[in-house]
Chains A and B, each alone.
Chain A
């Protein structure tokens, strides 16, 4: 079934991108951050002699998961249940969000602490909880910044990447968090003080998971700050929302992903903290553990032979950080919680048509994302596939119809070329060889690019003259 929730853009990409392109502060912030991370990633990836072999193994492990998904899901459920967890299933975003809200309400609490999770953003959990009178406190620094600013995330790893340090300090100050300076350590200290009491008193925590191990029912959370450990350890109840594609078959498979993920995402050899837990451990951590397995459009994606490779994604964000389009427009222009190259192939597949249908065009097909991807998702290939199979804009259809009529007859084609050249001569004289705006239907093309003028002579004419 088609996915719902915060993966469906409300505005088409071309219009949203146009707006964002005028924000020079945004572009400066993004440029600085993405370039920092690119260099770091290259350095730590270069340290690993068997990086390519790890990528190949990582891609294959995920493909294996997709082909054995039914049995692995059942195995995960059985193992997690045996270890004391309660496993739930949800068909779409609304069902998942309602389920989690019920679980929280059953505990009687009105405030939950949250670990940054793409799955909970995708299902619109915070909105649903709020409607039920439950405050969801984001504890990841960047999520906290975005939440305090009343904004939405713009990057899958660093949701506040569009803010620089002085903007962050302003957001803190407006919300009563005092940071002495806009030095990153001072900002981190302010967040620590703000959240400490919440961690120590929270009754319920909500997380996602980076990986779910089918053979043992183990969940894995990869993080930096320790807010994840706080949420996973101190509250009595833990609810984890997990996409069905997060599985890996065995514990051993983590030896591949725990090498690929940190180096690809934050450009570190290893992130500061990784937690693994299996159901309930008496005397250590939460006494009640729920796991919600979510489909929300993943099975639709799985059904597409070319497009299903998007489900290998481990959400490292390397493809965003290297993308020339993302660097200029930022995450909000994509309109989905999954922005950048991976979002351009994942959101339209998960959500079906609608505003997302322009997303496969949000790329120059340069291929940098494919080279960076630790699980070798051929994003350009899927983009082209989605362009071919997706709905085509009216202007493109009209232009193609006219072109095909012209090209079906040699006489019409030659006449059209002659007419174009004659028409172009005065334009060339006036513009110096480039056209910025053509009439409909070609205006759809020139809205975002210049069109070249036809050359002064055709190849056939040149050939005839040279060989005369």
Chain B
């Protein structure tokens, strides 16, 4: 018998016979009073820097956040208008994907959108959509700037996962900058992922 058949045979022999009904009495749709306030509180708590602007002010806000950054990378789907006020170099991850060395260059920042955001946990969910790109783009650069439109914000994890168009796309949940709890079980920021995380919330 090969390993697959043997493991399956053992599982069949050992598993319990009873059927289990899963009680789902937990909340799936909480509606806090001020979603954006809650999100800002949680992001700041986990050491992200938060900026707020209107749709018209987005380009100006991004230019301010990027002041001093000479070069940025962006995924193919980031709209040209977002960067219209930015003075530095823009490298797009198309038509040919950028080399890892380009992403790792000192001082590089990456600007993306996101798929959905969880206010209660301060979590940005990236689903590799056109304005987010492949996973390496938001990982290798040391500085990530993420644009959130306020319609993308939901209260809790259940609402957020239900909003995702296709859960089989590569997904990354980002809550604050890279951190570790490995030294004396205290959270400290800054290990392998981007050490700076700026979140720009666009109010309608």
Contacts and interface: CB of A to CB of B under 8 A. Distances in A.
User: Do A and B assemble together?
Assistant: yes
Contacts of A234: 100, 136, 140
7 contacts: A69-B11, A188-B188, A218-B167, A224-B181, A272-B193, A273-B175, A284-B128
A170 interface: no
The interface residues of chain B, by DSSP majority, are classed as loop
B176 interface: yes
A324 B171 CA distance: 38
B25 A50 contact: yes
Given A140-B182, A191-B191, A274-B173, A255 B3 contact: no
Contacts of B123: 270
A273 B178 contact: yes
Given A33-B184, A83-B168, A140-B182, A244 B25 contact: no
B26 A57 contact: yes
B14 A67 contact: no
Interface stretch (B83-91, B114-122, B145-153): B114-122
Interface in A63-101: 63-64, 66-70, 73-74, 83, 88-91, 95
A187 B168 CA distance: 36
A28 B139 CA distance: 37
B22 interface: yes
A165 B184 contact: yes
Interface residues of B, number: 75
A164 B184 CA distance: 6
Contacts of B184: 29, 32-33, 36, 164-165, 184
B122 A299 contact: no
- Return the 5 tightest CB-CB contacts between A and B, nearest first: A226-B193, A225-B191, A226-B192, A303-B14, A270-B121
Interface in A23-80: 29, 32-34, 36-37, 40, 49-50, 53-54, 56-57, 60-61, 63-64, 66-70, 73-74
Given A141-B191, A269-B120, 12 more contacts: A36-B186, A53-B25, A73-B11, A90-B7, A91-B6, A160-B182, A196-B192, A224-B178, A225-B178, A259-B26, A272-B175, A285-B136
A254 interface: yes
B50 interface: no
Residue from the set A229, A302, A305 with the largest chain B CB neighbour count within 10 Å: A229
Contact of B157 (A189, A217, A259): A259
A192 interface: yes
Given A67-B20, A266-B187, A299-B10, A272 B178 contact: yes
Contacts of A277: 170-171
A318 to B, nearest CB: 12
B188 A216 contact: no
Contacts of B157: 255, 258-259
B161 interface: yes
Contacts of B156: 259
